[in-house]
Every structure is written in structure tokens, then in C-alpha cells.
Amino acid sequence: MHLDKTEARLAIEELMREYAACIDDGRYEEWPAFFTDECRYLIIPRESHERGYVSGFYLCESKGMLADRILCLRETAIYEPQSYRHLIGGTRVLSVEGSTCRAETGFAVIRTTSDGEMSVFAAGKYVDTVVFDDGVPRFSEKLVLTDSTRIDVLIAAPL
Amino acid sequence: MEKMENGVRSTFHHWPGKTMSGDTAPLSWPAQGLTRVPYTVFDDADVQAREQAKIFRGLTWNYLGLDCEIPKPGDYKTVFVGETPVILCRDEEGGVHAMVNRCAHRGALLCFDKQGNRENFTCVYHNWSYDLRGNLKSIAFKRGVRGKGGMPPDFDNAQHGLERLRVTSYRGIHFGTFSEQTPPIELYLGPVMCRYLERIYSRPLRVLGQHSQYLKNNWKLVMENVRDPYHASILHLFFGSFGLSRQTMKGEALLDERGWHHIVYTKRATDDIRGSEYEGGRIPNMKSHLKLADPRILEEWPEFEDGITNMVQTVFPAVTFQQISNCLGVRHLVPRGPNECELFWTLLGYEDDEPWKTRIRARQANLIGPAGLISLEDGAVTNFVQRGIRGRAPDAASVVELGGSSIESSENRVTEAPIRGFWKGYRETMGL
């Protein structure tokens, strides 16, 4: 499969919208399906990533680990109800090689907690490797690089 | 906030000089002693001002950083001692220094970045410049311009260096104190605390991650939480559900002779739950039916000969050293006013770690921190306390009586002795 840059961008933008809607709607069980079986999902401050640090806030190295995160979110994690609203920026396609694309997309997430308080919880960019399999795009790697090194209290649901 | 002075509510909470000069105690401790903690200590501005003077500027060793964060001459990092901004740096000869991050001229921050390498510290405001030991070396326009203006002729740079802290290092961990009277670090820590620091910090380390967590609660609620082995298998369902830590496992809650510092450790796979409260799901919130799809998150290797799989150690007042399986790290707590604080996490490996070890450490980091599978709840619950204590009766206090009133070390961890130890250190330093 060969994509040109514009086709890739349109497909990834569509993927990003679905991805954000999935999390914002609280359909967390569907979240792992956006990834390939072997994958890497990492939330890490941009500054840490640039320093070459490997540890961030959240690391999953397979679709199973993504599912485990959701299992724990539902079954073992204790926190007050909260929801996210992703504001997704335009996608920049960095490279297209065969059916694999690398792309960057800016984001901001507003978190609303049950007492009604809203705050800009996170801003940053997704640096994604997207693999098209039978025309279906999935993330084989998703780096969530946060602009801040600081997290407000806790991260429950994925970004 | 409840305090009255001559019947007039004090409105000068933001002005520490007012309360500190009088040196009057901002509260009286309940008669029951260490088994009660007056809630006033968690949200009162006068208490907070006194903590800065008595604890963070008093007879304590405060965590500053690690050797591996400032390996080369000129390397520095910024840190906080209580609320005081501090620079930790290494001089040309390898010596380590700490000074207040505040220009001696008009008080501006000298370093507003987190870390780096410099030959000197120059204030951006008026170019006052200091060497790596904090000595004032030059002043812009000191002699004026074309003979006009400038500093008085008798102005002596040597009298205007940065405020210095005394620095001591234990196994590559740097601590600072503002007091000349703070005892040597080995005495301050005591032999037991030294032994457990030695266990992890005797080999060259490498930073694997660094970030912070902003918490909406008083800093001491975090120190109570981290010294509380009671809650671990109750609040953190992941722990119990996946068998990572149960009260039935071998372990100890250790305190130093004074009770100021603590260690709680467990050894996984050393217990038999038959006949215990853990058998047959008698602990209501344990979900032992849960199965992980990819249990590699729990993959570990036996790193320490003593078999300890989980260890949390605090050094009074505000630093925690942890070993959760192979996930090593330091959590340094900084008060941000009476109602908030910031927890700085530094995750560590050893310099000579093979890549597979780094990978396992990184994966295990999922367990801890603001998104941690066994720690996410901590930030929530300490905030619940902060909110729960609002609008209280003036003498309201928490009950810290698990295990009686002792502050002794014990093999059982159904005890709040380490918390009482913290309050002992607190009362002794605060004079309460």
C-alpha cells in the first residue's frame, strides 16, 4: 500500500478524532483497539524525552498492557469521577514509508471533575507511528509528550 | 485561621515576620500526645511559617540531590528546602555547594532553569555575578559610569555573597542544612537508616526519569501517607489483588532511635495466607479474581540479596527513598503554602545496568507516581483529608493509635508507629 502525504494526513486526522472521542466519551475499553498488538504507548514530559529518559508517567508495551491499564482503571484505581475533552490540533505528517507513517499532532486536554471544576490538564503533542494494515490505520507507537513536567494530582484515564 | 489574638482575628498570615518574631507557639498539642494530631497543622498559615523557620531552616538535613545529577564541575540543579529556592552545584575542584537561589542585591532568582552547567551565577537583573561557591565576584557599574554613580567605595563584595547552606553527602546523596548545630549526617540518620541507604546508594546511579506531581493538600499529609503501612493493602487494591503486598508477608516497620525517620519493607512470596484475614476473600475490596493480559508489568529480578521486594524509607523532614521491586527512586516533597505541595520524583537505575534492566525498571515505573497503579490513590486520599478537615471544631484531631502509642520498630505492619515517629520529629523541631 502506498499513500501520498495528503492521504496519510487525512487518514491520521480521522484516526486522531476517533481516538480522542473514544477517550472523551469514556469508552476506555475500546481504546486498545487503536493500537497494533505490539506497540508502545508512553506519556512522558517533553523535557524528559529530550534528555533521553525512559521513565515517564505511563508506559504500555503491548495491546495487553493497554487493556490492563483500563482493567485497573475500572477495578482497582480509586479517584473521583472526571472526564477529559481533547482539543486536537492539525496533524503534520513527518514521513511516509510504504504503509508506515510518522506524524505529529498537538493537543490540549481540559479535565472536568465532579465538583464542576475545569482545568487545562495537559498540553503537548502526540508523536505517532501509524501502520496501515489493509487500509486500517493503527498506532504502533504513540508518544504523548507533555509540555509540562508537572501533573496536577493524578492521571487516571489515558491521554 | 481560627486563631484569635486579643479577640481580633489575625489577618497577617502572609507575613511570617509577625508570628516568628514573637516566637509564640501557633497551637497547643492534645494531651494524648503522639496518638492525636491536631488538624490545625494541616492548613494554618502561622504553622506553615513556623515550619519554615524551625524545621526547614532548623536542625534538619534536607534532601538536595544526587551525585549523578551534578557529575561535572559547573553542573547545577535548582531545588527547594521547604519553600526556600536553593542551588546545588559542583565547583571546579569537585566540591559540592548549596546556596539560596536569591541574588544578594535585590532578591531576584539567580537560576530560573532546573539544571545546567555554568562557570558562575550571574543575576539577569543587574549582572551581579557569583562564583560556584556563592562568593560575590563582580557588580555591574560598581565604579559607576565615567566616574559618576556606582557603589560606595567601601562596599565589600566579601560581605555580600549568597546565603550558604552547609552540605553533607551520604553515599552520593547530598543534604543541606541552614543550621550550624545540625549533628553529622550519620548521627542524624542513625545506624539503621544508614544501612538501608547504603544498600541502594553505594553504586553509581543514573537518572531514568524526573517529573513532579502537584498535590492539593498540606505536605505533612504526604509524609503521613508514605509512613503508613496500614493503608497499603487496603487503599491500593492493585497491591492486594495481584499479591504484591499483604500484611501476611514478611517485613518490618523500622524507626531510628529518635523515631524521626522510618523504613517499611516487605518480602514478597514469603507468606501463607491460610487462616489469615486474606483467605477466602474476607478482605472485602481484594479482587484476587482479576488477571492481567500482559503480566510483564510485574516482571522483576531479585536485585538485592536480602530478598526485600518493596521498601519505602523516609528521612525527616521531607524525602522518601523507594524500592518497589526494581523501581528505584527518590520523592522529594516541597510545601507550596499550607494547602498544597509538590512532590518531585526522580527515578533511578545504576550506571552499569544492562538494557534489559533499564527496560524492566521503566515498566515497573507504571506502579508509582501520579499515574501509578499502586499510588494514584494517594494523591486523591490526601486531598480528601484536606477537604474533610474544613469547618472543624477548634480542637479536632486525627486518631493515630494503631499499634498503641509506641514509636518502636516492629515486625508487624499493622501499626501507625512510623506516623507517630514523624510527629515526634515534628514536635521536637517545632517546639510544640
**Residues in B touching A57 (Cβ below 8 Å):** 211, 369-371
Cβ <8 Å between B212 and A80 = no
Residue A97 included in any domain: yes
SS3 B81: strand
Residue A74 included in any domain: yes
Residue B14 pLDDT grade (very low, low, confident, very high; cuts 50, 70, 90)? very low
| A110 touching B (Cβ < 8 Å) | no
| A21 touching B (Cβ < 8 Å) | no
Give B238-260 pLDDT, tens digit per residue. Answer: 877 776 667 778 899 999 999 99
Nearest alpha-carbon partner for A91 in A119, A125, A42, A117: A125
Q: What is the CATH number of the domain that holds A108?
A: 3.10.450.50
Domain extent, residue A54, equals 5-146
CB of B263 within 8 A of CB of B416? no
| Per-residue pLDDT, B417 | 95
Cβ <8 Å between A64 and B293 = yes
Q: Is the per-residue pLDDT at B4 higher than 80?
A: no
Q: Could you tell me where the beta strands, DSSP code E, fall in B91-163?
A: 96-100, 115-117, 121-122, 129-130, 136-138
What span, in angstroms and rounded, lies between the C-alpha atoms of A47 and A37?
A: 28
Partner residues linked to A123 by β-bridges: A108
For the residues A2-13, what does the mean pLDDT come to?
Answer: 92
What span, in angstroms and rounded, lies between the C-alpha atoms of A155 and A149?
A: 13
Residue in this structure with the C-alpha cell 559618576, named with its chain if needed? B148
**Overall residue count recorded for chain B in this entry:** 432
CB of B110 within 8 A of CB of B103? yes
What is the distance of C-alpha B148 from the center of its chain?
50
What whole-number percentage of chain B has pLDDT above 70? 91
Counted domains in chain A = 1
| Per-residue pLDDT, B239 | 75
**Residues in A touching B365 (Cβ below 8 Å):** 55-56, 59
Cβ <8 Å between A68 and B215 = no
* Among candidates A59, A78, A156 on the partner chain, residue whose Cβ is nearest the Cβ of B363: A59
| A136 touching B (Cβ < 8 Å) | no
**Residues in B touching A67 (Cβ below 8 Å):** 293-294
Cβ <8 Å between B380 and A152 = no
**Residues in A touching B287 (Cβ below 8 Å):** 75-76
Buried b / exposed e over B279-297, threshold 16 CB at 10 Å, is: eeeebeebbeebebbbeeb
| Per-residue pLDDT, B10 | 41
Give B323-357 pLDDT, tens digit per residue. Answer: 999 999 999 999 999 999 999 999 999 999 999 99
**Residues in A touching B292 (Cβ below 8 Å):** 64, 68, 71
DSSP annotation of B258 reads T
DSSP β-ladder status, B136-138 and B129-130: antiparallel
For residue B188, the surrounding DSSP H or E stretch is helix B185-201
Environment class of B159 (CB within 10 Å of its CB; exposed 0-12, middle 13-18, buried 19+): exposed
Q: Is the per-residue pLDDT at B65 higher than 70?
A: yes
CB of A78 within 8 A of CB of B231? no
Residue A35 included in any domain: yes
What span, in angstroms and rounded, lies between the C-alpha atoms of B173 and B204?
A: 11
Partner residues linked to A104 by β-bridges: A92, A127
Average pLDDT over chain B, rounded to an integer: 90
What span, in angstroms and rounded, lies between the C-alpha atoms of B220 and B338?
A: 10
| Per-residue pLDDT, A3 | 86
Average pLDDT over chain A, rounded to an integer: 96
What span, in angstroms and rounded, lies between the C-alpha atoms of B415 and B396?
A: 22
What span, in angstroms and rounded, lies between the C-alpha atoms of B11 and B197?
A: 44
SS3 B41: helix
Nearest alpha-carbon partner for B298 in A64, A74, A157: A64
Q: Is the per-residue pLDDT at B37 higher than 80?
A: yes
Q: Cα B376–A17–A58 angle (5° rounding)?
A: 25
A53-67, B168-182, B237-251, B359-373: segment of lowest average pLDDT: B237-251
Residue B358: closest C-alpha in chain A:
A54
For the residues B153-182, what does the mean pLDDT come to?
Answer: 97
Angstrom distances, CA of residue A137 to CA of A33, A42, B53, B57: 11, 19, 59, 57
Residue A89 included in any domain: yes
Residue A93 included in any domain: yes
* Among candidates A48, A59, A62 on the partner chain, residue whose Cβ is nearest the Cβ of B366: A59
| A59 touching B (Cβ < 8 Å) | yes
What span, in angstroms and rounded, lies between the C-alpha atoms of B346 and B333?
A: 11
| Per-residue pLDDT, A1 | 64
Cβ <8 Å between A152 and B363 = no
What span, in angstroms and rounded, lies between the C-alpha atoms of B127 and B150?
A: 13
Cβ <8 Å between B209 and A53 = yes
Q: Could you tell me where the beta strands, DSSP code E, fall in B300-402?
A: 310-315, 319-324, 327-335, 341-350, 397-399
Cell of A108: 490540549
Give B374-416 pLDDT, tens digit per residue. Answer: 888 999 999 999 999 999 999 999 999 999 999 999 888 889 9
Q: Give the mutation candidate from A55, A68, A150 for the B interface (greatest B CB count, under 10 A).
A: A55
Q: Name the pTM for this structure.
A: 0.93
For the residues B413-424, what does the mean pLDDT come to?
Answer: 94
Residue A13 included in any domain: yes
Q: Is the per-residue pLDDT at B19 higher than 70?
A: no
**Overall residue count recorded for chain A in this entry:** 159
Q: Give the mutation candidate from B115, B297, B328 for the A interface (greatest A CB count, under 10 A).
A: B297
Residue A153 included in any domain: no
**Residues in B touching A78 (Cβ below 8 Å):** 235, 237, 376-377, 380-381
| Per-residue pLDDT, B23 | 63
Residue A55 included in any domain: yes
Q: Is the per-residue pLDDT at B177 higher than 70?
A: yes
Which segments of B43-133 does DSSP mark as H helices, in order? Answer: 45-51
Cβ <8 Å between B347 and A55 = yes
**Residues in A touching B383 (Cβ below 8 Å):** 153
Cβ <8 Å between B370 and A80 = no
CB of B332 within 8 A of CB of B319? yes
Residue B181 pLDDT grade (very low, low, confident, very high; cuts 50, 70, 90)? very high
| A147 touching B (Cβ < 8 Å) | no
| Per-residue pLDDT, B21 | 41
Which segments of B102-231 does DSSP mark as H helices, in order? Answer: 185-201, 219-226
